[in-house]
Amino acid sequence: MPATPEQLRPLFYPRSVAVLGASSHPLKFGFQYLRALQDFGFPGRLYPVNPELNEVLGLKVYPSVAALPEPVDLATVSVPAPAVPAALRECLARGIPGAQVLSAGFREAGPEGRRLEAELADLARQGIRVIGPNCFGVYSPAAGITLMPGSEFSRESGPVGFFSQSGGGSCDLAYMARGRGLRFSVLVSYGNGCDLETVDLLEYFRADPETRVVGAYLEGVRDGRAFFAALKRCAAEKPVVIYKGGLTETGRAGARSHTGSLAGEAPTWKAALKQAGAIAAESLPDLVECLMACVCLGDFTGAGLGILAGGGARNVEALDAAGHTDFRVPAISSGTEAAIAAKIPPAGGRAGNPTDLANPAMAPSVIGPVMEALAGEPEVDALLLYQAVFYLHKEVRRYRAKSPAGPALKLDYHLELAEAAERIRRKTGKPLLMILPDVASDPAHAEMEEARRVARQHYTSRGIPCFDHAEAALSVLKRLRARNLRAGGVCDKFGGYPATPA
Residues in 364-393 at the binding interface with a second copy, rule: CB under 8 A = 388, 390-391
Q: Can residue 105 be called a binding residue for a second copy (CB under 8 A)? A: yes
Return the residue of 10, 14, 98, 169 that touches a second copy, per CB under 8 A: 169
Q: Can residue 107 be called a binding residue for a second copy (CB under 8 A)? A: no
∠ CA 394-395-397, nearest 5°, is 65
Of 127-146, binders to a second copy (CB under 8 A) are 134
Torsion angles phi and psi, residue 23, rounded to 5: -140, 160
Return the residue of 27, 405, 408, 411 that touches a second copy, per CB under 8 A: 27
Counts for the chain of helices (H) and strands (E), in that order: 17, 18
Of 171-210, binders to a second copy (CB under 8 A) are 171-172, 175-180
Is residue 353 a contact partner of residue 377, using CB atoms and an 8 Å limit? yes
Q: Cβ of residue 98: shortest distance to a second copy, in angstroms?
A: 22
CA-based R_g, the chain, Å? 25
Nearest residue to 421 (alpha-carbon basis) of 296, 316, 310: 296
Is residue 308 a contact partner of residue 385, using CB atoms and an 8 Å limit? yes
Which residue number, 29 or 204, has a Cβ lying nearer to a second copy?
A: 29
Say how far apart CA 24 and CA 14 lie, in whole Å.
24
Q: Can residue 108 be called a binding residue for a second copy (CB under 8 A)? A: yes
Is residue 79 a contact partner of residue 19, using CB atoms and an 8 Å limit? no
Q: Can residue 474 be called a binding residue for a second copy (CB under 8 A)? A: no
Q: Cβ of residue 279: shortest distance to a second copy, in angstroms?
A: 17
Segment lying near a second copy (by CB under 8 A), choices 4-12, 40-48, 162-170, 234-242: 162-170
Is residue 259 a contact partner of residue 191, using CB atoms and an 8 Å limit? yes
Sign of the torsion angle spanned by Cα atoms 151, 204, 200, 252: negative
Q: Can residue 346 be called a binding residue for a second copy (CB under 8 A)? A: yes
Torsion angles phi and psi, residue 392, rounded to 5: -50, -50
Segment lying near a second copy (by CB under 8 A), choices 100-108, 333-341, 370-378, 413-421: 100-108
Of 216-245, binders to a second copy (CB under 8 A) are 217, 219, 245
Nearest residue to 432 (alpha-carbon basis) of 267, 342, 318, 279: 318
| Residue 363: Cβ within 10 Å count | 17
364-375 residues labelled b (16+ CB within 10 A) or e (exposed):
bebbbbbbbbbb
Segment lying near a second copy (by CB under 8 A), choices 207-215, 365-373, 404-412, 433-441: 433-441
DSSP states of 270-295: HHHHHHHTPEEESSHHHHHHHHHHHH
Q: How far apart are the first and last CA of the chain?
A: 43
Question: β-strands 184-189, 137-139: how paired?
Answer: antiparallel
Q: Can residue 413 be called a binding residue for a second copy (CB under 8 A)? A: no
Q: Can residue 255 be called a binding residue for a second copy (CB under 8 A)? A: yes
Q: Cβ of residue 208: shortest distance to a second copy, in angstroms?
A: 24
| Residue 227: Cβ within 10 Å count | 19
Is residue 308 a contact partner of residue 383, using CB atoms and an 8 Å limit? yes
Q: Cβ of residue 160: shortest distance to a second copy, in angstroms?
A: 15
Q: Can residue 296 be called a binding residue for a second copy (CB under 8 A)? A: no
Torsion angle (degrees, nearest 10) of CA 294, 299, 301, 306: -70
Segment lying near a second copy (by CB under 8 A), choices 120-128, 208-216, 398-406, 489-497: 398-406
Q: Cβ of residue 51: shortest distance to a second copy, in angstroms?
A: 21
Return the residue of 64, 70, 438, 489 that touches a second copy, per CB under 8 A: 438
Segment lying near a second copy (by CB under 8 A), choices 5-13, 221-229, 462-470, 485-493: 462-470
Return the residue of 165, 198, 211, 475 that touches a second copy, per CB under 8 A: 165
DSSP states of 374-435: HHTSTT--EEEEE--HHHHHHHHHHHHHH-TTGGGS-S-HHHHHHHHHHHHHHHH---EEEE
Return the residue of 100, 146, 164, 198 that touches a second copy, per CB under 8 A: 164
Return the residue of 54, 64, 283, 365 that touches a second copy, per CB under 8 A: 283
Q: Can residue 114 be called a binding residue for a second copy (CB under 8 A)? A: no
Of 305-344, binders to a second copy (CB under 8 A) are 310-324, 327-329
Q: Cβ of residue 468: shortest distance to a second copy, in angstroms?
A: 7
Which residue number, 96 or 130, has a Cβ lying nearer to a second copy?
A: 130
Q: Can residue 120 be called a binding residue for a second copy (CB under 8 A)? A: no
Torsion angles phi and psi, residue 170, rounded to 5: -60, -40
Q: Can residue 400 be called a binding residue for a second copy (CB under 8 A)? A: no
- With 0-12 CB in 10 A as exposed, 13-18 as middle and 19+ as buried, what is 125? exposed
Return the residue of 132, 161, 167, 302 that touches a second copy, per CB under 8 A: 167
Which residue number, 168 or 488, has a Cβ lying nearer to a second copy?
A: 168
Q: Can residue 64 be called a binding residue for a second copy (CB under 8 A)? A: no
Return the residue of 207, 471, 482, 492 that touches a second copy, per CB under 8 A: 471
Enclosing H/E stretch for 476: helix 470-487
Q: Can residue 156 be called a binding residue for a second copy (CB under 8 A)? A: no
Which residue number, 232 or 453, has a Cβ lying nearer to a second copy?
A: 453
Say how far apart CA 432 and CA 473 lie, in whole Å.
11
Q: Cβ of residue 216: shortest distance to a second copy, in angstroms?
A: 12
Q: Can residue 282 be called a binding residue for a second copy (CB under 8 A)? A: yes
